[in-house]
Amino acid sequence: MVSNQDSNYSLNDRTQHLLKVLVESYISDGRPLGSRTLAKLSELDVSPATVRNVMADLEEFGFVESPHTSAGRVPTTKGYRLFVDTMLNVQPLTTDVVSQLVENLNPKQSVNGLVESASGLLSDLTSMAGVVTIPKHERAEFRQIEFLPLSDQRVLAILVMNRQEVQNRILHTDREYSESELLQAANYLNELCAGQDLVVARQRILDELDHVREHMNDLMRSAVEMGEKLFSESDAEKSDYVVVGQTNLMEYDELSDIEKLKGLFEAFGQKREFLSLLDSCIFAQGIQIFIGQESGYKVLDGCSVITSPYTVDKETLGVLAVVGPTRMSYERVIPIVDLTAKLLGEALNNQI
């Protein structure tokens, strides 16, 4: 009776309810729902025939489909989307899940340790694959540089960045340098650049190179080159992530096609496609959900991805995600992803 037929295909309450029940049942069972079962399950006191009519409508609108004529209905991507957008009642986390997260994401760990833990927790708690990108360091601040002579015209350069980050690299020089020469060069660079942003520091060194045409030029040029290499390396590092629990995905019937699995695993391994997906989430405000091929990647057909950026001081440092079959318990996974992101951010706050 009461229906809100305002928009193009706005569904009345009963239709929505039936869709909701269908999606929930399919998520927990994995079997297509027939009209008879759905009628019972919905507790709506309607006959299977009525349900059939409703299903016909839903199918017409593209929210459900049937694998074949006599196999009941299954949600489509569009169906999942509507469910996720409008019908989700997210379940509160149980206390043991919360405490497990809190305990394992304690700030005493190293940055890498935290990333590993977060990824492992996502994987364990959801029985799917957990992904966490390595936090990028937005402001790369030159702090101190040291040079150590090695044999064979090589110099070990150690650059301390930000508050505690240390990068080191071997410089091949044109001749041997004495320790005092290296000390002199380091002192000079440190004085020149301490506290500067790495980009600024680099520019300064380059400017200075023109003025100071003395015996340490070689080394300084190398030092600048090191800065550049560090830059490119930290860029590469920033664009990396940790995956835990890929093998969990083998448990799901809908992914048991070996070809699909292979494609998925290779996507994880090659990191390219998957990274661009994660990168695109880095500016999102909170949880984002990609259902099936919504993400635009063919390998993710049949999979959904739930992502959340994690932030320190309101600055986004990375993204974490859970990857699993489309038929996943969104209501359970979403709060896990959410809390993990928050806790990871907090833990990193004490670290960076």
Cα–Cα dist 350/343, whole Å: 11
Out of DNA, a copy of itself, none, what residue 203 binds, judged by CB under 5 to 8 A for its kind, is: none
User: What is the DSSP pairing of strand 288-291 with strand 165-172?
Assistant: unpaired
Q: How many residues of this chain interact with DNA, rule: CB under 7 A? A: 26
Q: Count the neighbouring beta carbons within 10 Å of the beta carbon of residue 43.
A: 9
Minimum CB distance to a copy of itself smaller for 231 or for 265: 265
Show Cβ contacts of residue 181 under 8 Å, excluding neighbours closer than 6 positions: 215, 216, 219
Amino acid code (one letter) for 65: E
First to last CA, the chain: 59
Question: Phi and psi for 101 in degrees, rounded to 5?
Answer: -65, -50
Among 86, 256, 276, 349, interactor with a copy of itself by CB under 8 A:
256
CA distances from 168 to 150, 182, 194, 223, 231 (A): 13, 15, 17, 11, 12
User: Tokens representing 349?
Assistant: 């706050």
Minimum CB distance to a copy of itself smaller for 55 or for 226: 226
261 is a contact residue toward a copy of itself (CB under 8 A): yes
Out of a copy of itself, DNA, none, what residue 49 binds, judged by CB under 5 to 8 A for its kind, is: DNA
Half-sphere exposure of 60 (CA within 13 A, CB side): 11
**Interaction pattern, residues 123-152, with a copy of itself; x per rule: CB under 8 A:** --------------------xx-x-x-xx-
* Interface of this chain with DNA, residues 53 to 92, rule: CB under 7 A: 53, 55-56, 59, 66, 68-73
Q: Count the neighbouring beta carbons within 10 Å of the beta carbon of residue 285.
A: 8
* Interface of this chain with a copy of itself, residues 162 to 181, rule: CB under 8 A: 163-164, 166, 168, 170
Half-sphere exposure of 246 (CA within 13 A, CB side): 12
Rounded least distance, CB 234 to a copy of itself, Å: 14
Rounded least distance, CB 48 to DNA, Å: 6
Minimum CB distance to DNA smaller for 68 or for 272: 68
Rounded least distance, CB 172 to a copy of itself, Å: 9
Among 88, 98, 134, 156, interactor with a copy of itself by CB under 8 A:
156
4 is a contact residue toward DNA (CB under 7 A): no
Angle at 223 between CA 149 and CA 174, to 5 degrees: 60
* Interface of this chain with DNA, residues 34 to 53, rule: CB under 7 A: 34-37, 45-50, 52-53
Show Cβ contacts of residue 141 under 8 Å, excluding neighbours closer than 6 positions: 161, 162, 195, 196, 197, 198
Q: 157 forms bridges with which residues in the sheet? A: 147, 169
Out of a copy of itself, DNA, none, what residue 168 binds, judged by CB under 5 to 8 A for its kind, is: a copy of itself
Q: Is 337 helix (H, G, I), strand (E, B) or coil?
A: helix
* Interface of this chain with a copy of itself, residues 221 to 250, rule: CB under 8 A: 246-247, 250
Residues within the interface to a copy of itself (CB under 8 A):
143-144, 146, 148, 150-151, 154, 156, 158, 160, 163-164, 166, 168, 170, 246-247, 250-251, 256, 258, 261-262, 265-266, 269
Residues within the interface to DNA (CB under 7 A):
1, 14, 32-37, 45-50, 52-53, 55-56, 59, 66, 68-73
